[in-house]
A and B are shown apart, each in its own frame.
Chain A
Amino acid sequence: MAQEDIQVNKHQLNKRTGNNMQFLSFTLGNEEYGVDILRVQEIRSWEPVSRIPNVAAYEKGVVNLRGSIVPIIDLRERFNLGYAEYTQLTVVVVLQTGDGNKIRITGVVVDSVSDVVDVDKARIQSAPDFGAKVSTEFISGLVSVNDRMVMLLDVDKLLKLDDVTQDES
């Protein structure tokens, strides 16, 4: 707890300098990912979805989020990281994506949310190119936090690209 408080304070200090970004980190299997915390609307527990017929398997379905219909995407399946049983601990991170003036809301299923991390922008590495072997299109950068590698996701690309591929199929 105390450590967290310190971290928050540190963040507030750093925020003033403008060089830092905060990311919400979460795990998928053994991997750790991060999204810009300003894109996170809320974190919810998993609840059953209504399936949408004839769409990709990783688009799990839609839920009612206070009156709006919000699609839920399983990131494990999206990244081909295998399946996981949904439990009470499975978490849905609700993200906002905006193209222009229209904001869309999408929920992504992750194994668990781990932390809020402060990252100095200068420390963000660009994702290495693995060629066609590994798709790094959604990864905007890599950063190391406490000796763990966190992959930072480009939310707009992640959720927009998925739309495009869907329209084509």
Chain B
Amino acid sequence: MSIDMAQFHQVFFEECFEGLEAMESGLLNLDTGDIDSEAINVIFRGAHSIKGGSGTFGFSNVADFTHIMETLLDEMRDGRRQVTQAAIDVLLGSVDCLREMITAIQQEQDVDETRVAEQKSALEVELYGSEASVEPSPVNHSIAMETPVAMSEPAPAQQHEHQGYEIAFTPYLTLLQTGNDPVRMFRELAELGELTASVNVQDIPDFYELNPEACYLAWDLKVAGDIAEDEVNEIFDWVKGDCELEIQSLAAKPVKDPVAHIPAIDAETLSNTPESGISEPAAISPPPVTEDAVNKMAPQKAEPEPAKTVTKSSSTIRVDTAKIDTLINMVGELVITQSMLSLVGEHFAMNKESQLKSGLAQLERHTRELQQSVMNIRMLPISFVFSRFPRLVHDISSKLGKKIELKLVGENTEVDKAVVELINDPLVHLIRNSLDHGIEMPADRIAAGKPETGTIELRAYHRGGHIVIEIIDDGRGLNKDKIKAKAIEKGLIDKHSTLTDKQVFELIFLPGFSTAEQLTDISGRGVGMDVVRKNIQELGGNIEITSELDKGTTISIHLPLTLAILDGQSVAVGDEIYIVPLVSIIESINITEKMLNRVAGKGETFRLRNEYIPIIRMHEIFNVQSAKASQLAEGIIVVVEGQGMRCGLFVDDLLGQQQVVIKSLEANYKRVEGISGATILGDGSVALILDIPGLVRLSNR
């Protein structure tokens, strides 16, 4: 499937700028002393959306850059890192940098790589502080090469001629509780090369405060010899989440990493505070390099940014100029018709009747067209959103080594523009979740007796006065026990509370909840589901999860049709007019007594092409007193299909087909069974729109 992604770029840029603005104002309002987690969340979401979007569109440099920002913000949000002014400055600088990058991409210019690299290293310094990257990603290294700038400090504090690694290992207090024994790790290290270890005991508290199960020690380790970095990393693999770890190569190259010499400064500070998990970042005074980098940034920040022509207002609507031209044409024709009619009216005589009639017909046609094209401006097929996803699925599945097929159903379902814009982010999150957590690895799937290729189905349709968007995967499903355990661990629910399946699934929507054991850049940071729900609720909809372990998960999003338009067939029942959605009508027929059958003397059915179809008498089910036809042969049967069931609605007459604007009945009133909404007819009166599945349920009572 080839889709021109460029058509969505503009939308993405706008979203980015909106996100950046939100991040910027969030950062500016952030109080260093008092951390407002919601404020950080807002910033984090901005970064997250930009990362997600840029990943989708293949702007990997933006995605990489944002990922670092996001990691930093994530730590702040979780309280693992304190919010310092220096960090905020670096983040603000990064926002500026990001904006420049996106502007450059938007204007199809080259991104200023040195600027980006510089900013990235400043971020990394802030992020890792004394730690060299624990998992040295290729990105980090390439940056390091590109940025001698950041290293403008005088001679590095340490020069090592020999090969080996210096490791600053500062376990959190809880390290021992996870069953990790540092001694065993040191023994393994010693096997790799000559090990010298010095322990820092400064933080052992007074005897009365001493918790025998806590680890108050920190170590500075040096292991000499020609050792692969992976081997060292492997030893610390198990404790990665439970300590501050910084592995540094003592390679012949004196300076390999931009942050290389900071550890020397900070190693002591670090080791002084083993309970760093909570308070340590505060203790680190921003390393000199950081300040340096920030200072260097400052003048650049002041530079006038390239002309930004993008409108910033989020309430604008981007309309194809062709559509507007059509509108103008139509208005022009309308004016001509109007002047023609007034000419006819001025000296009206009976012989001009035909002229008048044709004029009115023209007026009707033009008005209808005008109405349609005005509606068109707001309504977009959901494919506008859906078609972004094949790329996303393709990229992520190949990254994860999974085989996934994406099925799109009901792409032509029309949705309001506002929905299209706001539903994108939630859908991206949900699909990423399905990709990452839902679908298993091919081998696991085969082992579970499923086809190797996983399926994700993205489906949109109208139902019962709502637009329903479903994301159906045939993956491993949600593990209720795991969710519960996690919620208990996070203190979200009580240990002894009993929850229904539905309540358990609800837990996923709580902020900060994530069942993924390992953070990936795809999902698992606990942003997402709460934001997804928030966005959907803002649209006046709701979201539901049904899941079966090992069978798959279905997420349904219900959105109201407030602005949606429907092709309807108006039918008369007595004095009343009802609208039957055209999509659910199969045919309308007159029947004769002969075609009629009764089931158990009551249920009326008739035979239509080898199928017995039950009849619902509308005047009975809706208690219409004024109905004209009481004999089935006198009226008309409208054969409709709802939720896989066919039935015949017995009405007095068919009136006409028209597009109707769906109005909510619930806004001022309440839900009525068998009715999905209301609409306003040409004469200003209200007609109710039938909800076929609801009607079938009602008649079955």
| Residue positions of A touching B, CB distance < 8 A | 48-55, 61-64, 67-71, 104-106, 163, 166-167
Please name all residues of chain B whose beta carbon is closer than 8 Å to the beta carbon of A63 when the two chains form the complex: 685-686
Please name all residues of chain A whose beta carbon is closer than 8 Å to the beta carbon of B665 when the two chains form the complex: 62, 69
What is the minimal beta-carbon distance from A157 to any residue of chain B, in angstroms?
16
Please name all residues of chain B whose beta carbon is closer than 8 Å to the beta carbon of A105 when the two chains form the complex: 668
Chain B, Cβ-Cβ closest to A52: B672
By the criterion CB–CB under 8 Å, are A71 and B669 in contact?
Answer: yes
B688 at interface, CB cutoff 8 A? yes
- Known interface pairs A53-B674, A62-B665, A104-B668; A67-B680 also in contact (CB < 8 Å): yes
Q: Please, how many angstroms separate the alpha-carbon atoms of A31 and B665 in the complex?
A: 32
Chain A, Cβ-Cβ closest to B673: A54
Q: Please, how many angstroms separate the alpha-carbon atoms of A163 and B666 in the complex?
A: 11
Please name all residues of chain B whose beta carbon is closer than 8 Å to the beta carbon of A53 when the two chains form the complex: 621-624, 672, 674-675, 688
CB contacts under 8 Å to A, within B675-701, are: 675, 678, 680, 684-688, 698
Chain A, Cβ-Cβ closest to B671: A167
By the criterion CB–CB under 8 Å, are A50 and B685 in contact?
Answer: yes
Please name all residues of chain A whose beta carbon is closer than 8 Å to the beta carbon of B496 when the two chains form the complex: none
Q: Please, how many angstroms separate the alpha-carbon atoms of A14 and B588 in the complex?
A: 66
Query: A68 is contacted by which of B623, B668, B670, B688 (Cβ under 8 Å)?
Result: B668
Query: B320-333: contact bitstring with A at CB < 8 Å (1 yes, 0 no)?
Result: 00000000000000
- Known interface pairs A62-B665, A67-B663; A163-B670 also in contact (CB < 8 Å): yes
Q: Which of A61, A63, A69, A71 has the most C-beta atoms of chain B within 10 angstroms of its own C-beta?
A: A69
Query: B515-542: contact bitstring with A at CB < 8 Å (1 yes, 0 no)?
Result: 0000000000000000000000000000
By the criterion CB–CB under 8 Å, are B668 and A106 in contact?
Answer: yes
Chain B, Cβ-Cβ closest to A96: B668
- Known interface pairs A67-B663, A67-B680; A52-B688 also in contact (CB < 8 Å): yes
What is the minimal beta-carbon distance from A109 to any residue of chain B, in angstroms?
15
Please name all residues of chain B whose beta carbon is closer than 8 Å to the beta carbon of A167 when the two chains form the complex: 670
By the criterion CB–CB under 8 Å, are A71 and B668 in contact?
Answer: yes
Chain B, Cβ-Cβ closest to A162: B670
Query: B587-628: contact bitstring with A at CB < 8 Å (1 yes, 0 no)?
Result: 000000000000000000000000000000000011110000
Q: Please, how many angstroms separate the alpha-carbon atoms of A1 and B624 in the complex?
A: 47
Q: A63-B685, A104-B668 are in contact. List 10 more A-B contacts (CB 8 A).
A: A50-B685, A52-B672, A52-B675, A53-B688, A54-B672, A54-B673, A69-B665, A69-B669, A69-B686, A106-B669
Query: B686 is contacted by which of A54, A62, A106 (Cβ under 8 Å)?
Result: A62
Q: How large is the interface on B (under 10, 10 to 19, 20 to 34, 35 or more residues)?
A: 20 to 34
Chain A, Cβ-Cβ closest to B661: A67
Query: B663 is contacted by which of A48, A52, A68, A106 (Cβ under 8 Å)?
Result: A68
Q: Please, how many angstroms separate the alpha-carbon atoms of A126 and B576 in the complex?
A: 44
Q: Please, how many angstroms separate the alpha-carbon atoms of A52 and B668 in the complex?
A: 14
Query: B238-261: contact bitstring with A at CB < 8 Å (1 yes, 0 no)?
Result: 000000000000000000000000
By the criterion CB–CB under 8 Å, are B623 and A54 in contact?
Answer: yes
B667 at interface, CB cutoff 8 A? yes
- Interchain Cβ contacts under 8 Å between A and B, 23 examples: A50-B577, A50-B687, A52-B675, A53-B622, A54-B672, A54-B673, A55-B672, A61-B686, A62-B665, A63-B685, A64-B684, A67-B663, A68-B667, A68-B668, A69-B663, A69-B669, A69-B680, A69-B686, A104-B667, A105-B668, A106-B669, A163-B670, A166-B670
Q: Please, how many angstroms separate the alpha-carbon atoms of A106 and B622 in the complex?
A: 22
Q: Please, how many angstroms separate the alpha-carbon atoms of A88 and B561 in the complex?
A: 36
B362 at interface, CB cutoff 8 A? no
Q: Please, how many angstroms separate the alpha-carbon atoms of A48 and B681 in the complex?
A: 14
By the criterion CB–CB under 8 Å, are A50 and B675 in contact?
Answer: no
Please name all residues of chain B whose beta carbon is closer than 8 Å to the beta carbon of A163 when the two chains form the complex: 670
By the criterion CB–CB under 8 Å, are B663 and A50 in contact?
Answer: no
Closest 8 CB pairs of A and B: A53-B622, A50-B686, A71-B669, A69-B678, A64-B680, A104-B668, A105-B668, A69-B663
Please name all residues of chain A whose beta carbon is closer than 8 Å to the beta carbon of B686 when the two chains form the complex: 49-50, 61-64, 69
What is the minimal beta-carbon distance from A94 to any residue of chain B, in angstroms?
10
Please name all residues of chain B whose beta carbon is closer than 8 Å to the beta carbon of A62 when the two chains form the complex: 665, 669, 678, 686
Q: Please, how many angstroms separate the alpha-carbon atoms of A53 and B667 in the complex?
A: 18
Q: Which of A53, A61, A68, A104 has the most C-beta atoms of chain B within 10 angstroms of its own C-beta?
A: A53
Q: Please, how many angstroms separate the alpha-carbon atoms of A70 and B663 in the complex?
A: 11
What is the minimal beta-carbon distance from A13 to any residue of chain B, in angstroms?
36
